[in-house]
Structure 1
Amino acid sequence: MLLVQDSMKLPEMYNRQADKSDYYITPSFGPVENILVTREHKHHTQLRKVMAGPYSYTNIKKMEPLVDARVMQWLERLKMEFVDKDMPVDFTPWTVFLAYDVISEIGFGAPIGFVEAGCDQENIIKHLHAGLREKAILNRLYPFLKLLKGTWLGRKYFEAGASASSGLGILLKLRDRLLERRLKDLEEGKEGRQDLLQTFLKTRTVDGKPLDIEYIKSEVLLVLLAGADTTGTVMQGLIHQCITRPDIYERLRDEIKAADKAGCLSTPPKYEEVSAHCPFYVACVREVMRLWPSSPALFPRLVSGSGIDFEGKLAPAGVEVASTPFLIHRDKNMYGEDAEEFVPERWMEPERCKKLLKYFFGFGYGARVCLGKDIAQMEIYKGPMQLLREYTILPVGDDRVGTYTIAGGVAYWNNMFVKLVPNKKMAN
């Protein structure tokens, strides 16, 4: 496997004809694989056409009220548990609680309930995190997995099931229960709520047939697993900058105050409002995703066509090449000598921003770019933004401002203790 840092090579490595390698033979979430682990590019293209509708911006926009409800519940719980009691809060788990509740409501049809409980329900997150390192090792042992896949041994030890008592097993039970209820409602002629599960059930293949139920189960679970910790990590990184960079924090606050004064923001703010009226906030989100990507994993592909030239040396068709956002986003040829520094302004120069977005790797690249991009950005543009509107965020101790950690190709922050002081109280 060739590991590549040159961001200019992304279009060649991740072109439409590039197959995913056997690295993507991973422990299964059921008998049918989801779109993420589909390796052959022609099969992926067919699936992508089918799934484009459910994940389209137009469809996701209809679900914005679901996100709004969860964000406001999250802020209310923070107020009750910490602000009213004048207590510090470890912001790290609370962003993940919000992310899991949002994505489970959009995907499954109901929030898991982390925010309401104020804790890791049934240790679901703990169990999922515990499996990250094992998953990373298995990814790298894919010849071994390829032999076991489909055998009774593979099904027993490397295929998750609803009977498991781990965090994933609990999620599978929840998913199956909600799916069964939704199917029953449809049989009785009841109009389902507007979420991804409902959209999947209405979606038809190119042959006009409904999606296979096992495939829907796999996709719904993928939504949760891919869209929770990742989104939480970005929100954590953004708050980390607020409590460690006073200059960044003040500029964010000034921009938000100006947008509020002009009447440009709803409560909570709409996705389109933040995009249109808060350019520095958007730039900070992009810079957080650049320096501290939430998915800093390898994304291998097989070289296609006539090969790829790397500084005069040819990687022929079939060779496995890979990159990771953690490397790509530190390419000094693209980002300059200050590539290791947090500089949101680099995203505010229109021509430069256009080029940086062309080679941005935060949501994957090319034909396989993350389908849930709009869901993630909608949540990131709402949660932290509304928090900044309502509270002044103060760090609790210089040694407790967060540590960026990578485990099994997924990133998260640790120990980000803050005090939330109502802005009205600070003004007084």
Structure 2
Amino acid sequence: MGLADVTILCCVLLAATELARRLYKRRRLGTIRGPFLASLSNFYRFFRVIRGDAHLRDIALHRKYGNVVRLGPNVVSIGSPLAIPQIYGITAKHQKSDFYPVNQTYSRGRLIPGLFSTTDDKLHRHMKRPIAGLYSMSNVIGYEPLIDKTTELFISQIEEKFARTGERCSLSDWLQFYAFDVMGDVTFSRRLGFLEQGIDVEGMMEKIWHRFKYFAAVGQLPWLDILWDKSPVWNALLPQKSSPIVAFSASHSIRRLNGDPPQVREKSAEGARDTSTQDFLSGFIATKQKDISVPDWYVTAWTTSNLLAGSDTTAIYLRAVFYYLLKNKDSLNRLVAEILDLDSQGRLSNIISWKESKEMPFLDACIKEAGRLHPPIGLPLERVIAHGGINIEGVHIPEGTVVGINAWVVQRDLNVFGQDADDWRPERWLCEEQKRKEMERAMFVFGAGHRSCLGKNIALTELYKLIPQILRRFKIELVKPNEEWIVENHWVAKQKAIDVYFRERHRV
């Protein structure tokens, strides 16, 4: 037998092995309904994601096939809110899938596992445990002075550039400028310059968006990542490569680790500012100094997670609240009345505090409803079923199967939220406690369990403080009230085309 014959035989054997593997997986989940093409190849998922509307497709699939839907040869989407604790609960043993490491970034040629991207639960616990307390609501409230400084600048810029001039404002962009600069302030005691300059500084927002596009698509076929971004050949050609956000985080982390205090850096960067409030980086470094087992790269990973996870998602949530309010004038007028009533009683500070915002029940209802209808994450949060498998909705899902819940699906569950689940109705949250708790259990905006969003309380603080602050100060109108926004879902369901006019509100 010649070399050519051996080569052909090997190719045939490999093809036969791959075919047998696919047939086995297809048969193993054969009782689970879904699109036929999904049972054959993960390329179905790849093309589903690159279209940018997977969140809408997932809703439609679940309403067609039920709460358990097949999305790939070994991938199942779950649409039941009751399955959230089963899959993501504190005691659940299901690990993250190979989807997540695609999001790992480089710092000087080294891959940096993050709290979000690592599939190693032991590493995750080691990275999270020493800093979890920094993200508690009681601790985040301590960062209010830093958030307030950025809020003051945001209000000042909106007034100067738009309210006084009558120019249209790209609210889509400016809310992200705000979210980015807040995270810079609470993490480094230094804004990143988005609000001061009114632009996407160094194209950072666009670079992160392209990174999300890569992650969302290639994550459906993780082996592609080995051929491209994580390719040994590619990395050999760029041995010191770093992503822009990681490079920024690393430079500030290293400077602080080397003894550059925030007070010195603040004077050189932006003039004298109140630095009495400790930032996250100070907390991270204090943690490292107390625990010698914490390597330097943890600090870079922690600060990078703050910037990456805390800017886009918070901006998306803020956009959703304002968009739905501006599209539903009755809700907007009711919320403004609630805010101005408290203001007229002298119960609101110059910069509204977290505590004061919690006295606004309709604000709370609007924020919950916006997060329900437009959660920032638009794809399922994947987990690999642990030994023994699980039963969901009477369907057995064997171990090794990748399952996931998409917040866009469970948060429009007709059984929980009613036949108007697709409609904006914040009043649904102003109900008896039992019903409200049932709806809250179905909310998946920030994930669930021990791998849920660590920065949830930072995002909530921004939301509950900024929204009433803007509405108290300005009247807002959509430039094109009869047109819809544009939503592209590439991991995050990012909105565009929210242009508004600002006018100053004359307070009594």
TM-score (norm 1): 0.90
| Cα distance per residue 1:88-126 (max 9 Å; x no partner) | 212110000000110122223311111100111122112
CA contact (8 A) 1:109 1:178 kept: no
Q: Are residues 1:29 and 2:105 paired?
A: yes
2:365 to 257, 264, 283: 283
1:237 to 304, 320, 325: 320
Name the residue aligned to 1:82. 162
Q: Residues of 2 paired with 1:69 and 1:319: CA distance?
A: 48
Deviation at 1:188, TM superposition (A): 12
Identity among equivalent pairs (%): 26
1:354 to 437, 462, 473: 437
2:130 to 24, 34, 50: 50
Name the residue aligned to 2:64. none
CA contact (8 A) 1:28 1:159 kept: no
1:274 to 357, 361, 371: 357
Name the residue aligned to 1:142. 222
CA contact (8 A) 2:306 2:455 kept: yes
Q: Residues of 2 paired with 1:147 and 1:87: CA distance?
A: 47
SS in 2 for 1:309: strand
SS in 1 for 2:493: strand
Name the residue aligned to 1:195. 279
Q: Which moved more, 1:26-35 or 1:183-192?
A: 183-192
Q: Residues of 2 paired with 1:158 and 1:71: CA distance?
A: 40
Q: Residues of 1 paired with 2:299 and 2:402: CA distance?
A: 30
CA contact (8 A) 1:234 1:294 kept: yes
CA contact (8 A) 1:34 1:222 kept: yes
CA contact (8 A) 1:25 1:145 kept: no
Name the residue aligned to 1:327. 409
The 5 Å alignment of 1:119-138 reads 119-138=199-218
2:480 to 394, 397, 419: 397
CA contact (8 A) 2:101 2:118 kept: no
Q: Are residues 1:62 and 2:138 paired?
A: no
Q: Residues of 2 paired with 1:136 and 1:333: CA distance?
A: 30
- Taking only aligned residues, the RMSD between alpha carbons, in angstroms, comes to 2.6
Name the residue aligned to 2:501. 419
SS in 2 for 1:95: helix
Deviation at 1:272, TM superposition (A): 2.1
Q: Which amino acid aligns with 2:425?
A: V
Deviation at 1:379, TM superposition (A): 0.8
Deviation at 1:270, TM superposition (A): 1.0
> CA, structure 1 residues 84+24, in 2 after alignment: closer, same or farther (shift >3 Å)?
same
The 5 Å alignment of 1:148-163 reads 152-153=232-233, 155=235, 161-162=241-242
2:178 to 88, 93, 98: 98
Q: Which amino acid aligns with 1:209?
A: I
The 5 Å alignment of 1:350-389 reads 350-389=433-472
CA contact (8 A) 1:29 1:159 kept: no
CA contact (8 A) 2:215 2:491 kept: no
1:248 to 331, 344, 349: 331
CA contact (8 A) 2:388 2:398 kept: yes
Q: Which amino acid aligns with 1:384?
A: I
Name the residue aligned to 1:165. none
CA contact (8 A) 1:27 1:160 kept: no
Q: Residues of 2 paired with 1:333 and 1:222: CA distance?
A: 36
Q: Residues of 2 paired with 1:308 and 1:124: CA distance?
A: 42
CA contact (8 A) 1:175 1:217 kept: yes
1:308 to 386, 390, 393: 390
SS in 2 for 1:420: strand
Matched length: 417
Structure 2 gaps of 5+ residues are 1-74, 265-274
Structure whose alpha-carbon radius of gyration is higher: 2
SS in 2 for 1:412: strand
Deviation at 1:330, TM superposition (A): 1.2
